[in-house]
Amino acid sequence: MRQRNSSMEGPDGSQLFEDTSGAGPRTQSGYRNQQTEPQQAGFAGQSLLSDPMSNLAMAYGSSLASQGKEMVDKNLDRFIPISKLKYYFAVDTVYVGKKLGLLVFPYMHNNWEVSYQQDTPVAPRFDVNAPDLYIPAMSFITYVLVAGVALGTQNRFSPELLGVQASSALVWLIMEVLAVLLSLYLVTVNTDLTTIDLLAFSGYKYVGMIVGLVAGLLFGRPAYYLSLLWCCAAIFVFTIRTLRLKLLSEAAAEGKLVRGTRNQLRMYLTMSIAAAQPIFMYWLTYHLIR
C-alpha cells in the first residue's frame, strides 16, 4: 500500500517522483512550477486545462473562431442563399423513390400541382411534385462516374477525362438555364419559378441519361437506343406536365384552347424547353457508347 503512493520517500527523505496530484502540499505556486518543469507524459493534459494562460488562449481562440464563422456565414449568405437551398434538400427516401419512378414513368400520375402551405411551397418531403436539388446533384455526379466507366470499357479512360466530362456537362447545364431564363424574360411570363427551380428541372434529365448509359453498357447499342428513347419520351412528358402549370395561364393549363398570341408564345416556350431535354440527353451521351 505504501508503494502505491505516488510520492515515495527516497533514502534521503526527498521525493523520488513529483507529487502529480493537484491536492499536493503545493497548491498556488504549484501551477507555475508545473509549467516551468518538464511535463511528464500523462500529465500535460491536466496542466493545459488548469493553466490560466492557456485557458485564456483557448477562450480567445474559440471566440475568434466563432467570429470568423459568423462573418463567413453572413457573407456567404449574401451570394448563395443557404436557407433557400436547404429547402431543396429536405428530401427523404420515399420522395426520392417516387420521384425517380415519376421521371421514368410519368404517364399514370394525375395531379401535378405543387401544394402550398400559407403561401410558401411545401417541402419536397411532403409533396412529390415539388422540385428538389438532391436528385439532380446526385445524378450529375453519377453521370460523370458512369461516363468514366463507359470510357474505361473502351480503353479511352484517363483521370483528366472525368474532369473534362464534368465541366462540359456543367457548362451545358448553365447555358441551358441561362437560355431558359432569357426566353422567360423575353416572353414576360409572370411566374414564380426561381432560378434554382429551373436548375432542378434541367437536372432531372441526368436520370434518364444514366439509365440509357447503363443499359448501353450492359446490353449493347440497341438497348442504349431503346432505353434512351423511352427516357426521352418520359422526360418530355414530365417537363411539359410540370411546366404547363407554372408557365401557362389558368385556363390554358387545364387543356382548353385559349386564343391569343400570349398563350401561343407560352405554349411554344414550354414545348421548346421540353424538346431541348431529349436533344441534350442524346448530345451528352452518344459519344460514350461506341
Partner 1 sequence: MAFTLYSLIQTAILCTNAIAVLHEERFLSKVGWAVDQGVGGFGDDPGIKAQILTLIRSVRTVMRVPLIIVNSACIVLLLLFG
- Interacting residues with partner 1 (CB under 8 A): 164, 167-168, 170-172, 174-175, 185-188, 262, 265, 287
Compute the least distance from the CB of residue 244 to partner 1, in Å: 19
Q: Is-contact 177 198, C-beta < 8 A?
A: yes
Return the number of the residue (83 or 188) whose C-beta is nearest partner 1: 188
CB of 243: closest distance to partner 1 in angstroms? 19
- Comparing CB distances to partner 1, the nearer of 114 and 179 is 179
Distance between first and last Cα of the chain: 82
Residue 266 Cβ vs partner 1, minimum distance, rounded to whole Å: 11
Q: At what angle do helices 195-203 and 134-153 cross, to 10 degrees?
A: 40
Q: How far is the CB of 86 from partner 1 (least distance, A)?
A: 26
Between residues 49 and 170, which has the closer beta carbon with respect to partner 1? 170
Cβ proximity to partner 1, 49 vs 171, nearer residue: 171
Task: Output the smallest distance, CB 264 to partner 1, in A.
Answer: 12
184 vs 253 by CB, closer to partner 1: 184
